[in-house]
Homo-oligomer: A and B are copies of this chain.
Amino acid sequence: MEPKLISSLDAYHRLKLDADRLNRQEFHLKYLLEQENRFERFSMRRGDLWFDFSKQRLDQKTVDHLLELAKARETVEQFRAMADGQKVNTTEQRSAMHMDARNGSHPEMNQVNQRIRSFVQDVGDIFSDVVVVGIGGSYLGTEFVYQALQSSCKVIRPLHFLSNVDMDDFAAVIKKINPQKTLWVVVSKSYTTMETLANLAQVTAFLKANHLEPRNHIVTITAKGSPGDQSEAKSSGEDNGDILASFHMFDFIGGRYSVTSAVGVLPLSLCFGYPVIERFLKGCGDMDQHAGNAEPKSNMPLTAALISIWNSHFLEYPAQAIIPYSSALSRLSPHIQQLYMESLGKQASIYDSRVEYPTGVIIFGEPGTNAQHSFFQLAHQGAPFPIDFIGVLSPGSTKIWSTYQGVTNHQELWANLLAQTQALALGKTDDNIHKVFEGNRPSSTIVIKDLGPESVGALLAFYEARTVFEGFILGINPFDQFGVELGKTMAKALRGQMALKNGSPDHQFDVNDPATRFYLNELFKAGRD
């Protein structure tokens, strides 16, 4: 028998009643936090990652009802089906095998990794810098890991990123590199991504202007047999002369889950060395094991997914912030923003029905303490939203130049992290209404041991598994992204109009929307000045 959508489950309706209950003043977080052993009961650990949801607005009854949702949706079974390679990406009839990219079980992917390992060894000192040319899932995960590992691992070759189709990005990148010593890694599964190909056109022209052969400076990460696939072309006798080498990515791993495939492994290995990235993969794999094998009630990413559903569906928070108290993790929020919003921003269920409840919320964030000096005013005294606070026990940079007021800067970060979770939860009364803090603002605290590759891998895989679990529970497909297609189609039509005008200045734009016509005319007028 097929599991039903959660809105038709008894547990769902019990949770609605739970929300009514928890919304009463007597269940304010300041009282919930006084429950006996609350921290022990509502926190978990796996290896070097702690997940603490004791400051969420829930009690044991809520947790039990949430676990019923998970059970009724056969969530762990779905997760294992994914691990077994079943076609859990139902709308596209594909498997979702990002976990195989790090557990060594997939011969083809192992082979790609072995080729990457050899390639990185062979590169020697030919290249001093690497530019990753890719957008969205072909770039955000790699950028996050690059930023995260820099303080704990030696950078052999710096990475640069060319994502947006903006010449300012290109101009900024070429200012930083020596063209003779730079390798360009072009990442596109289909090799039809407009932004990436437009940037590749700039790269090729730039190399030629510098009297360099593209074939000596460009490698691709792409699907087998795509127009950018060198190895395939070679084996069929047609040498794709513009490419030094190709590394395969596979249609059973979506962009936003692809950082542990060649997409991330090649550039990150060029940067930190393959052994470091192997440790990163191990950290991911360890969290995958936990997600696939732990009982629901002690399963960290599953619990995090249930809390996300509790907050968005029942307490009706429309957004969630992710605030890492570590600058090394400053690109975590943009990466999870993509991972989560692209995976769960869906309106149709896997049963082809319209889902009548919210599916995915807005994710945003900046590192702490910066965020405290930016938007935390609204967090404390405006419309509330739940927050994931992320702490790192051992700092990245260990050199201490000075202490201030008796503490190190790293301790100062922690004093702020801990103070914020309490201030948001507890609040404060005051005779001056402008100084009243209502409190009752929920948060989770996620702690990793350090900024080493294993910890960063565990953190990444935690959020990946959380996202996948949430999709399974909600009954939506976390692996497709049909919502990006309409804009692409419409952009194509406009591009055609622009190309016609470039070819013949008298061309009158054939577009219906008066605003669009106006802007096109202004754009071409400005171009003539």
Contact = CB atoms under 8 A, between A and B. Distances in A.
Contacts of A359: 382-383
A380 B491 contact: no
Contacts of A54: 515
B487 A420 contact: yes
Interface string A255-271: 10000000000000000
Nearest to A497: B415
Interface in A506-523: 513-516, 518-520, 522-523
Interface string A226-257: 00000000000000000000000000000100
* Size class of the A contact interface (CB-based, 8 Å): 35 or more
Nearest to A381: B483
Copies in the complex: 2
A274 interface: no
Interface string A392-405: 01111111111111
Interface in A323-377: 325-328, 334, 337-338, 341-342, 344-348, 352-354, 358-364, 366-370, 372-377
Interface stretch (A119-127, A158-166, A458-466): A158-166
A167 to B, nearest CB: 4
A477 B404 CA distance: 34
B370 A205 contact: no
B338 A198 contact: no
Contact of A411 (B421, B435, B486, B495): B495
Interface stretch (A2-10, A78-86, A109-117, A133-141): A133-141
Contact of A383 (B318, B372, B393, B494): B318
A502 to B, nearest CB: 6
A54 B202 CA distance: 36
Interface stretch (A67-75, A168-176, A215-223, A279-287): A168-176
A244 B274 CA distance: 48
A383 B358 contact: yes
Contacts of A168: 150-151, 326-328, 395-397
A415 to B, nearest CB: 4
5 contacts: A91-B434, A150-B168, A411-B523, A445-B519, A449-B526
Given A167-B398, A318-B318, A394-B527, 10 more contacts: A39-B513, A135-B370, A167-B400, A345-B375, A346-B381, A360-B378, A376-B484, A382-B483, A407-B502, A415-B498
Q: Please provide the 6 A-B residue pairs with the shortest distance between their CB atoms, ordered closest to farther.
A: A345-B378, A136-B373, A406-B499, A345-B382, A419-B490, A381-B483
